[in-house]
A and B are shown apart, each in its own frame.
Chain A
Amino acid sequence: MAAPTTSTNPPIAPNGTSGAFIELRGIHKSFGRQEILRGIDLSIHHGETLCIIGPSGEGKTVMMKHIIGLIQPDKGDIFVEGICVNHLREREMAPIRQKVSMLFQNAALFDRMTVEENVAFPLWESGVRDRTEIKLRVRDALEVVDLQEHMDKYPTSLSGGMRKRAGIARAIVTRSECILYDEPTASLDPIGSDVIDQMILRMQRRFGITSIVVTHDMKSLFKIANRVAMLRRGIIKFLGTPDELRATPDPEIQDFINGRSNITG
């Protein structure tokens, strides 16, 4: 069994949190009788890329949705920059959601809006009214994801990879400090996956954006992750660097990262 590897003890902030950008403390969540999360403790630091891995149905997306307040925990607390967010009402979450945005698995672009309108939407809703500024910032965001040529298209006429890139543009246009990615490379071809990986790396280098990436794509993980957390049976089974993940002797983790099912033909 691999010993969960954690970095040195983080400093304690005046409000009792560790000073991490995002902190999850003892998160429990059940749906009906099914216990999904059984005490998650995790800190995410400014500017890092943390990948969350684990078998399907283990609660990776559920954990991520807790961070942005889409799901409330049954027990435990979530802190974003020291503010406990799980006691906030939906309308009080708006300032937190200016800092943390999310790319959904299928991008969740609005069907009735063009790519340009989709990307401009969060700007307009956050109170930016200068149309020239909106246009410039939308163009900048689309340039980062290399979609300037497709800004007039509707989401239905985009490929899966393009939709995800448009989703990333929408997530970064408000200059969020942190982006949560739910399986950003799922169902993409190897080139499409690499494009997304390079984009996540570019965002970290260029804007210092903190990224939390739920993924099953091990190749992508070893390219982008600063740290990896493995979720298993509702708890964090492993937390460490990608090199530590590779070196861990735990057979279950080794089977997972090498894609071995233990079923013989």
Chain B
Amino acid sequence: MDAPAGLLTLPGRTFIHFLTYLGQLTALMGELMIAVRSGVWRLKLVAQQIVAIGYGSQAVVIVTGAFTGAVFTFQSYAKFKEFGFETTVGAVVSVALCRELGPVLAGLMVAGRVGAAMAADIGTMKVTEQVDALRVMGVHPVDYLVLPRFLAMMISMPFLVAESISFGLIASYAVTSFGYDMPSAWYLSHMLDHTNMEDLSIGMIKGFVFGMLITLISCHQGLTAENGAVGVGLGTTRAVVISSLVMLIVNFFLSILLNYVFPIGSV
């Protein structure tokens, strides 16, 4: 019968599409590594991308980090107070921001803002044959379009994650000090006692990994865009959705892995 056969082939086809997609991403990563090793880094383009990715994303990352830190503190303070643990809010918020919220929020914001722009830029170049024009001139599209974005992302992401964490902590400190009249010394003392370099390292490592994923996924969507404006729009949407989902999934496994390397509460 046709229907069951169709049902059987659907998961199979989806699985093959998934494997094909993974294969394409791996191939792109391979080309990117060849480009990195070639040493031709086009520093002017890298600088332009740092401005677009790093400088341009600061506002969204700062606002997101700050208000998340503020609301997290606001919610947890009330509950912690029931148990008389309100002075530990600084430590909890700080560790959470360093290990999870800072990199994840910065990553999501960058995926939305920068990933979409990467896919749209490269996708538009693809459908208007500008990518083919590059190839015709003997310029590999990965060298010219992906490598500068990748390098700029690797440079920018640690700063963006650091900003997200820092402004989250500043907002959290402001809420406890001005909103709840908690002595600032308590907040700072607990925060500094329970936050260490390992927590910060986890945030930075995650920032690098998320930056790499966003660049790969978004540039791949751009380079494979077809069917004109509709294809570019679809690629842009997919870049944001896939980057965000992959980042959240990878974050879970990365957290487990990094917790073995840098166990929480080891100090």
Instruction: State the total of A-B contacts with C-beta under 8 angstroms.
Output: 51
**A251 to B247 alpha-carbon distance, docked (Å):** 62
Residues of B at the A interface (CB closer than 8 Å) are 34, 124-125, 128-130, 132-133, 135-140
Enumerate chain A residues within 8 angstroms of B140, measured Cβ to Cβ.
90-91
**A96 to B213 alpha-carbon distance, docked (Å):** 34
**A97 to B135 alpha-carbon distance, docked (Å):** 8
Q: How far is the CB of B14 from chain A (nearest CB, A)?
A: 19
Task: Identify the stretch in A16-24, A103-111, A129-137 within 8 Å (CB) of chain B at 4 or more residues.
Answer: A103-111
Enumerate chain B residues within 8 angstroms of A125, measured Cβ to Cβ.
137-139
Most buried by B among A68, A121, A125, A174: A125
Interface residue? A98 (CB, 8 A)? yes
Contact between chains at A108 and B130 (CB < 8 Å): yes
Most buried by A among B124, B135, B137: B137
Can you list 5 residue pairs at the A/B interface with Cβ under 8 Å?
Answer: A94-B138, A104-B133, A110-B125, A111-B128, A125-B139
User: For residue B133, which residue of chain A has the nearest CB?
Assistant: A108
Enumerate chain B residues within 8 angstroms of A97, measured Cβ to Cβ.
135-138
Contact between chains at A108 and B137 (CB < 8 Å): no
Total interface residues on A, CB under 8 Å, equals 25
**A143 to B187 alpha-carbon distance, docked (Å):** 71
Contact between chains at A70 and B135 (CB < 8 Å): yes
Contact between chains at A108 and B132 (CB < 8 Å): yes
Query: What are the nearest 6 A-B pairs in CB distance?
Result: A94-B138, A108-B133, A108-B129, A97-B138, A122-B137, A104-B129
Most buried by B among A91, A110, A121: A91
Given that A106-B128, A108-B128 are known contacts, is A93 also in contact with B133, CB under 8 Å in the complex?
A: no
Interface residue? A210 (CB, 8 A)? no
Q: How far is the CB of B131 from chain A (nearest CB, A)?
A: 9
Q: Which residues of chain A from 70 to 123 have a CB within 8 Å of any chain B CB?
A: 70, 90-91, 93-95, 97-98, 101-102, 104-106, 108-111, 121-122
